[in-house]
Structure 1
Amino acid sequence: MRTTIHKADTRGHANHGWLNSYHTFSFANYHDLERMNFGVLRVLNDDQVAAGMGFNTHTHKNMEIISIPLEGDLEHKDDMGNTTTIRQGDIQAMSAGTGIQHSEKNKSRDRQVKFLQIWVLPNKVNVSPRYDQISLKPDSLKNNLQQIVSPHADDDGIWIYQNAWFHLGDFDKGQKTTYELKDPSNGVYIFLLEGKCTANGIALDKRDGLGIEEVERIDLSYLENSKILLMEVPMAN
């Protein structure tokens, strides 16, 4: 078993006033050659957007972009004609492919938005851009690792162009779960959103990240009420 741990207080940080962002991996002005990625997982940003603010129209190419709202509502607009709102319980994915332009705005006048912005390198480039969004069933995360991303359009969650599976869970103190890798050649990156847990015996606190390679399963024990994001990804593209 090979492991890489990223404690919460070692992440890159940028506070632009309207945007307060923590970067697990190198991003924008935060650059660390030891923290460029975990396999094809390239970006994991923990973002807070102030009321009435947001990201103006910008372009992405050849990247799978997953957004997971944690609090508040975020309005999305793109050049494919989509105007949608994502909120807690929704999962959004874009295949940027040959190029997509979009904006993201917090339309609230008095409430911030918190969300995770995740970029995954695709296994197929220059595809036609696509947008998708799902809403999770109520209580689907309770003491359960709910699949939210996969490589297959007919599987649970939302699909992307990569041999990757994401799961979210909301666990009570004292619960235990085991995750069996879909592909043993993959690695798993765990991001603990809330609480305390152990993963194969390694202790994690709120907002810690842990990469695990060369295993077929991960045993998780929750020492407090905890929320967890587990991302299984190829280690090479």
Structure 2
Amino acid sequence: MITLRKADERGKAHFGWLKSRHSFSFGSYYDPAHMGFSALRVINDDWVAPGAGFDSHGHRDMEIITLVLAGAIVHKDSAGNEKVLPAGEFQLMSAGSGVYHSEYNASQTDELRFLQIWIMPDKQGGKPGYQQQHFASQPGLTLIASPDGRDGSLVLKQQVQLLRVTLAADEQLNYPLPGRKVYLHLISGELQLDSITMQPGDGLMVSAETALQLTANQHSEALLFDLP
């Protein structure tokens, strides 16, 4: 079963300093048909005005991944981490038993854009954790996060793999799905799956399939979530 979630069908929020698109129900946006997919609970596509950001707020029992697409984030949390997250780097904050953090646009002149992703952990509680890493750009698949941290990936508290997909024009990807599900979020470019054409911001939910076969109509970058 393959379902396309179009970018312009996502939930919308606009607070002046923040513009957001929600792939799943979040905040004031509620859609019982889109409450998450397997362990994937949130994909928010956020634009933050210069100098603005999220004041200190709390999380618990959630794996929170951030990818900056343009600009940089200033991050501070109650565990004592004070970091700057530039474009292209991945951050993984394991909320565990509870953590408070704030996120601000590091620039006073330029807009910040980032993806915030929530994955439900397979165990609750535990000590909060923080990881941040740059992954070299390479064609094909790059493992970003996994439950065992193999190949230098970030360590997730869930049986989920997050992979970055980078395909040149006309390049193909055949990803096997032995009893697993996949959610694919297209960041840039254009991907083709049979009669389905994916545009930036689109999501693809895949279940009960033996493989995911994609062709890039142009240079494309996406995030692939391999889910239980």
Equivalent residue in structure 2 for 1:223, among 201, 217, 221: 217
Q: 1:225 to 1:153 in 2, by over 3 A?
A: closer
Is there any run of 5+ residues in structure 1 with no aligned partner, and where?
A: none
CA distance in 1 between partners of 2:193 and 2:75 (Å): 35
- The match for 2:173 among 165, 173, 177 is 177
Structure-1 residue corresponding to 2:144 = 148
Match in the other structure for 1:90: 89
TM-score by length of 2: 0.96
Are 2:185 and 1:186 equivalent residues in the alignment? no
Q: List per-residue Cα deviations over 1:93-146 (Å, max 9, x = no partner).
A: 011110000000112111111110000110011111111111112x33xx3211
- The aligned runs of 1:13-162 (5 Å cut-off) are 13-137=12-136, 139-140=137-138, 143-162=139-158
Match of 2:11 in 1: 12
Structure 2 alignment gaps of length 5 or more? none
State the secondary structure of the residue aligned to 1:155. helix
Q: In the alignment, residue 222 of structure 1 is paired with which amino acid?
A: A
**What is the identity, as a one-letter code, of the residue corresponding to 1:190?**
L
Paired amino acid for 2:109: D
Return the alpha-carbon distance in structure 1 between the equivalents of residues 222 and 186 of structure 2. Answer: 5
Paired AA for residue 134 in structure 2? S
Indicate conservation of the 8 Å contact 1:150/1:156, yes or no: no
Letter in 1 for 2:36: N
CA separation in 1, counterparts of 2:195 and 2:147? 29
Q: Which moved more, 1:64-73 or 1:213-222?
A: 213-222
Q: Does the Cα contact within 8 Å between 2:48 and 2:112 map onto a contact in 1?
A: yes
Q: Is the 8 A contact 2:71 2:106 kept in 1?
A: no
Query: Equivalent residue for 1:206?
Result: 200
Q: CA deviation at 1:203?
A: 2.1
Measured after TM superposition, the shift of residue 62 of structure 1 is 0.3
In the alignment, the residues of structure 2 paired with residue 231 and residue 153 of structure 1 have an alpha-carbon distance, to the nearest angstrom, of 15
2:191 to 176, 192, 197: 197
Query: Is the 1:40–1:120 contact (alpha carbons within 8 Å) kept by the matching residues of 2?
Result: yes
How far is 1:169 from its partner?
2.5
Measured after TM superposition, the shift of residue 201 of structure 1 is 5.2
Compare 169-178 and 92-101 and name the one that shifted more: 169-178
Question: How many residues are treated as equivalent by the alignment?
Answer: 228
> TM-score, with normalisation over the residues of structure 1?
0.92
Deviation at 1:79, TM superposition (A): 0.7
1:3 aligns with: 2
Question: 2:187–2:223: 8 Å Cα contact kept in structure 1?
Answer: yes
Aligned equivalents of 1:221, 1:175: Cα separation in 2:
6
Secondary structure at 1:9 match in 2: helix
C-alpha displacement of 1:11: 0.3
Partners in 2 of 1:220 and 1:171 — Cα distance?
A: 10
The secondary structure found in structure 1 opposite 2:218 is: coil
The answer as to whether partners of 1:197 and 1:203 remain within 8 angstroms in 2 is yes
